[in-house]
Amino acid sequence: MPKNKGKGGKNRRRGKNENDGLKRELTFKEDGQEYAYVVRMLGNGRLEAQCFDGVKRLCHIRGKMRKKVWVNTGDIVLVSLRDYQDEKGDVILKYTPDEARNLKTYGEIPENAKINEDDGGDEYGDVDFEDDDGDGVDIEDI
């Protein structure tokens, strides 16, 4: 049996975000790439993204990003387009909200794009329990 060297097992880095606070250089799109807004997560490393060129694509999260970079609904991502399938793509980078705002100021993504504004509600819409005057609904009235 080999002696433990004191560095820990295969899960020793599980809870650590080693490059969490680092500022990284802003990556712009190149030929064959497009910015996209994540519409919904489909599971199994796939998602549906609305690209800013007007096409809704089924995208696959690349293996280097899986279980390391968490992509959620409402995120701005960089999608690599496929030459042979226009309706599919691969997510190669997730932008932080600050980076997405910088892309908007540079004019890379449209001004009307929502940046990481997931409403947090269910897919059927939020229920609003307020009257027109804003004082709420009284349970006694029901």
Please give the average per-residue pLDDT across 50-55, as a whole number: 92
Predicted pLDDT of residue 3: 65
Say which DSSP state 54 is in.
S
Share of the chain above pLDDT 90, in %: 44
Sign (positive/negative) of CA torsion 65, 104, 24, 30?
Answer: positive
pTM, whole model, 2 decimals?
0.68
CB atoms within 10 A of CB 8: 10
Domain boundaries, the chain: 31-104
68 — pLDDT class (breaks 50, 70, 90)? confident
More confident residue, 97 or 18: 97
Provide the mean pLDDT of the chain: 80
3-state secondary structure of 75: coil
Beta 76-81 vs 56-61: how paired, if at all?
unpaired
Beta bridge partners of 34: 79
Q: What is the mean pLDDT of residues 110-128?
A: 58
Which has the higher per-residue pLDDT, 133 or 31? 31
* For residues 92-100, average pLDDT: 92
Copy the structure tokens of residue 48: 């549906």
Helices and strands (H, E) in the chain, number of each type: 1, 5
Longest dimension (CA), the chain: 74
Assess contact for 130 and 137: CB atoms under 8 A.
yes
Topology annotation, domain 31-104: OB fold (Dihydrolipoamide Acetyltransferase, E2P) (2.40.50)
Two tokens, residue 99:
């980076």
